[in-house]
Amino acid sequence: MTPLRRNVLALLVRAGEPIKAYDLLDQMRSEDGSAKPPTVYRSLDFLMDVGLAHKVEALNAYIACAHCHDKGGAELYICGKCGSVDERHGAPEPRNAPDGFETERSVVEHYGLCAKCR
Ligand SMILES: [Zn+2]
Ligand SMILES: [Zn+2]
């Protein structure tokens, strides 16, 4: 874990909500003016590979992961109104995986309204 990666993770955790790569970059630049987009994306890729972060495709943003995904993927419940994302553990094995397919990681996104916004 490099200082840069740790810094990106700390920013994700501090945000407590989905944050876009460029907002991360802005925050990093306030501490380190030399931060560049490719290094931010590489750090995010690393954090996702080791299961410490997820990309929320629907929002094109990233969140820190507080779960252990040894078995099963993540399920993200995304509120279309306030943009909150609630992460839950997915099923241990995808039910409709093709024969012989070995799943390494999976993220399922559910769209709707959270309890507060309903
Ligand atoms: Zn997770
Ligand atoms: Zn909501």
Write out pLDDT tens, residues 71-102: 668 899 999 999 899 998 877 677 788 999 88
Looking at the structure, do residues 52 and 93 belong to the same domain, yes or no?
no
Question: If you measure from the C-alpha of residue 33 to the centroid of ligand 1, how many angstroms do you get, rounded to a whole number?
Answer: 30
pLDDT in the model for residue 102: 84
**Measured on CA atoms in the order 94, 100, 104, 110, is the torsion positive or negative?**
negative
Looking at the structure, do residues 50 and 21 belong to the same domain, yes or no?
yes
pLDDT in the model for residue 70: 66
pLDDT in the model for residue 79: 95
Q: What is the number of domains present in the chain?
A: 2
Question: 5: helix, coil or strand?
Answer: helix
Question: If you measure from the C-alpha of residue 67 to the centroid of ligand 1, how many angstroms do you get, rounded to a whole number?
Answer: 5
Residue with the two structure tokens 């995304």 = 78
Write out pLDDT tens, residues 5-41: 999 999 999 998 999 999 999 999 888 778 889 989 9
Strands 74-79 and 107-112: parallel
Range of the domain at 81: 74-112
Looking at the structure, do residues 79 and 59 belong to the same domain, yes or no?
no
Q: Does some domain include residue 12?
A: yes
Question: If you measure from the C-alpha of residue 63 to the centroid of ligand 2, how many angstroms do you get, rounded to a whole number?
Answer: 16
Residue 107, pLDDT > 80, answer yes
Question: How many angstroms from the chain centroid is the CA of residue 47?
Answer: 9
CATH number for the domain spanning 15: value is 1.10.10.10
Residue 69, pLDDT > 80, answer no
Looking at the structure, do residues 88 and 60 belong to the same domain, yes or no?
no
Looking at the structure, do residues 60 and 14 belong to the same domain, yes or no?
yes
Please answer whether residues 59 and 83 qualify as being in contact, where contact means their C-beta atoms are separated by less than 8 angstroms.
yes
